[in-house]
Structure 1
Amino acid sequence: MIHFPAHRRAPLRALSLRVLAALALVCATVAVVWLDRDGYHDANEDGMTLLDCFYYAVVSLSTTGYGDVTPASQSARLANVLFVTPARVLFLIILVGTTLEVLTDQYRNGRRLIRWRSTVKDHVIICGYGTKGRSAVSALLEDGLQKSRIVVVERNGTALRQATSAGLVTVEGSATRSAVLEEAHVRTAKAVIIATDSDDSSVMVALTARQLTAGQVRIIAAVREAENAPLLKQSGAHHVIVSSATAGRLLGLSTSAPPLIDVVEDLLTPGQGMALAMRSADRGEVGRSPRELECLVIALVRRGRVVTLTDRAGAEIETGDMLVYVRDDRAQSVATG
């Protein structure tokens, strides 16, 4: 089942608006009747008072119609045709507004689903919306990816509601099932990020995604144990991130070289200082040394392979190279602000 982010109003606020609309409609009807009160016939034959006008407005709009107050003049009957009758229909719509709202939401969601299925392409699928999944979404948004191009696959109800509340399209179900990934349009996706809670689930998701996409969609997975990384690569993952090994190396650095931890955290936290970024080499940069550029280049990506600046091949930028450099996010945020 596909869930779309919804902008819901508080129930008390929605009810208050309906009550105010009904009262405004009653008051408008009273005003119309009061202005032409001589054109109405009262069974008591004592004339139309303001209370009689309220009484006629309420029984008319609620379709009760006791018949003790009736329009007698041509102008009063015309007012009933042109105003009171449409107001009666509108009043009934307000009374059954909850039912109509449900039907409207169902129609709207149906239209959104049809439109989404016809336009979704080159999106990123996040399998799992736990700590790793939420961090991956945050990184994608910081990198400029629109929320409409992120699809979360999750079977946990709480995590599913959190993703929907964050404005993301979600698919309810297990990512190990091919039908669920088909609902997320995995064949037209740009990448699949596997951020499940267990390594065995990650392997199953990678196998399912590779089977459906025939290796045409990039698969990135996170595992807890390093010994499971080769198995994930054999299952179809193009990149595997070992969370326990990475955390262990950072713990070791915190003992031998504590300032390096601050540098790594700064690089991995967008918007707060330094940040890793990648861009294609400009035509004017081809043939130059990466060390000569104004930005701090730390590596090159050439034909899908990382080339460090210490390698002989990294001494000169070639056509088609991607530059991995350190960006100053603080300066960028100031310029944007």
Structure 2
Amino acid sequence: MKTVRTPDEQPSDRRGPMGALARPLPRPAEPDPDNGFPGAAEIGIPRRKPGPLKQVVRRFALALLVLAVTVLLVWIERDGYRDSVDGNLSFLDAVYYATVTLSTTGYGDVIPASDSARLMNIVLITPLRVVFLIILVGTTLEVLTERTREQWRLSRWRSTLRDHTVVVGYGTTGYSAISTLVAQGVPRDRIVVVDPDAEAVAAAMQDGLVAVAGDATRADVLRRAEFERARNLIVSANRDDTAALVTLTARQINRRAWIVVAVREDENSPLIRQSGADSVVTTASAAGRLLGVSMLSPNVGEVVEDLLHYGSGMDLIERPVDKRETGKSPADCRDLVVAVIRGHRMLRHDDPEASKLATGDRLVVIRSGPRRPDPMGPRAHPSPVS
């Protein structure tokens, strides 16, 4: 019987330790003299955009404000104006003069002589002129203004971004990682998503994140995400060979960043670490272990799942030792201690060396809290598999 495998379940290439990495790598793309580098990254900064009706109403209100200011100026300087009908400039004449001037209609050949005709010109004809100008000129002005505004927002974003987190891949894994970061208090404007898929970039912007469209294996794409000044990098690519190339590229750009990489195969973990990753998470085996635990003991599986979802009940967190806890046993702490981090070593809670907590130790504890909704909200939009 023939077994059908999904793309994620295809066996790795045994010709090399990295499976797909044993295949020859593609040559770097040459720059195009007209279009620059192929697949150049584009940065999208999320913002709230008003609806079309609201934009029209806003423009119409601005046009009325300009009209009012013009009328006021004409009325203040009314002694310098002359009316060809009666020689005197009334307030209605000032409003009429302002309307025909702003609308570039012209005056002198055909003019409303009566007050009722001029009132109709002001109440009915002038709004039509304003609507016409909005339709005719509004699109061009909007494009010019929008480009200027986007350039200003991009420059301001680049100048203020420091010690942020870059997430490569906005699929299921990347989305869950960002949701955990946001739940623990990381501001959304300190997270930058990099993904080559346009739908994923649009989804990230819809979730209030800055997104860069491009291939993260390219150094220029990571530089567009300001990775030189980043503190952390999360790599959740669809393929392990892509994750390795992203890690190599990132480590060359930023030597101090903390890099966490998700891989699918256990055998690829050592090579990812050699590429420069500080921490490697094997998603396939971790999910498999959780499946096995849930099969043998559903309650244990539920507890582990609860611990992995920050803010959903019991949380597994790392914190420094409190002054009041120094010299005490882990069992005497206010939280349930799982492990003690001393220097670069991790000690279990029952390790004799961890029997007395010292200043500078860090504790991995289980803390119980109220259940809170997902800080990223329900994810209704489609997303890649990564």
The equivalent of 1:81 in structure 2 is none
Q: Does 1:165 align with 2:234?
A: no
User: 1:273 is matched by which residue type in structure 2?
Assistant: G
The equivalent of 2:159 in structure 1 is 118
Find the partner of 1:154 among 186, 192, 195.
195
How many Å separate the matches in 2 of 1:297 and 1:27? 69
Once the 2 structures are TM-superposed, how far is the Cα of residue 160 of structure 1 from its aligned partner?
A: 0.6
Check 1:110–1:17 CA distance in 2 against 1; reply closer, same or farther (3 A cut). closer
Find the partner of 1:304 among 332, 344, 347.
344
3-state SS, counterpart of residue 354 of structure 2: helix
Q: Does 1:288 align with 2:328?
A: yes
How many Å separate the matches in 1 of 2:102 and 2:303? 70
TM-score by length of 1: 0.80
The equivalent of 1:99 in structure 2 is 140
Is the contact made by 1:271 and 1:329 (CA closer than 8 Å) also made in structure 2? yes
Check 1:330–1:53 CA distance in 2 against 1; reply closer, same or farther (3 A cut). same
Query: Which structure is richer in relative contact order (CA contacts within 8 A, separation 6 or more)?
Result: 2
Check 1:30–1:187 CA distance in 2 against 1; reply closer, same or farther (3 A cut). closer
User: 1:121 is matched by which residue type in structure 2?
Assistant: R
Where does structure 1 lack aligned partners over 5 or more consecutive residues? 73-87
Check 1:92–1:226 CA distance in 2 against 1; reply closer, same or farther (3 A cut). same
Deviations 1:8-62 (A, max 9, x none): 11123312433465578779999999xx9xx7445xx9xx9xx999987754432
The equivalent of 2:264 in structure 1 is 224
The equivalent of 1:210 in structure 2 is 251
Deviates further, 19-28 or 139-148: 19-28
Deviations 1:175-216 (A, max 9, x none): 1011111222222211110011111110110111112223x2
Check 1:27–1:69 CA distance in 2 against 1; reply closer, same or farther (3 A cut). farther
Once the 2 structures are TM-superposed, how far is the Cα of residue 159 of structure 1 from its aligned partner?
A: 0.6
How many Å separate the matches in 1 of 2:243 and 2:152? 33
Is the contact made by 1:40 and 1:71 (CA closer than 8 Å) also made in structure 2? no
The equivalent of 1:136 in structure 2 is 177
How many Å separate the matches in 2 of 1:189 and 1:32? 53
Q: Does 1:258 align with 2:298?
A: yes
Once the 2 structures are TM-superposed, how far is the Cα of residue 239 of structure 1 from its aligned partner?
A: 0.8
The equivalent of 2:150 in structure 1 is 109
Deviations 1:145-165 (A, max 9, x none): 111211111111111111112
How many Å separate the matches in 2 of 1:331 and 1:182? 38
TM-score by length of 2: 0.70
Is the contact made by 1:253 and 1:261 (CA closer than 8 Å) also made in structure 2? yes
3-state SS, counterpart of residue 253 of structure 2: helix
The equivalent of 1:277 in structure 2 is 317
The equivalent of 1:83 in structure 2 is none
Give the aligned CA root-mean-square deviation in angstroms: 3.6
Is the contact made by 1:164 and 1:170 (CA closer than 8 Å) also made in structure 2? yes
3-state SS, counterpart of residue 140 of structure 1: helix
Check 1:148–1:109 CA distance in 2 against 1; reply closer, same or farther (3 A cut). same
Once the 2 structures are TM-superposed, how far is the Cα of residue 114 of structure 1 from its aligned partner?
A: 2.3
How many Å separate the matches in 2 of 1:30 and 1:288? 79
Find the partner of 1:177 among 206, 214, 218.
218
User: 1:292 is matched by which residue type in structure 2?
Assistant: D
Is the contact made by 1:3 and 1:164 (CA closer than 8 Å) also made in structure 2? yes
Residue-pair matches, total: 310
User: 2:252 is matched by which residue type in structure 1?
Assistant: Q
Deviates further, 199-208 or 305-314: 305-314
User: 2:253 is matched by which residue type in structure 1?
Assistant: L
Identical columns (%): 46
3-state SS, counterpart of residue 261 of structure 2: strand
Richer in helix (by share): 1
Is the contact made by 2:312 and 2:372 (CA closer than 8 Å) also made in structure 1? no
Where does structure 2 lack aligned partners over 5 or more consecutive residues? 1-41, 114-128, 374-386
Is the contact made by 1:4 and 1:169 (CA closer than 8 Å) also made in structure 2? yes
Check 1:201–1:63 CA distance in 2 against 1; reply closer, same or farther (3 A cut). same
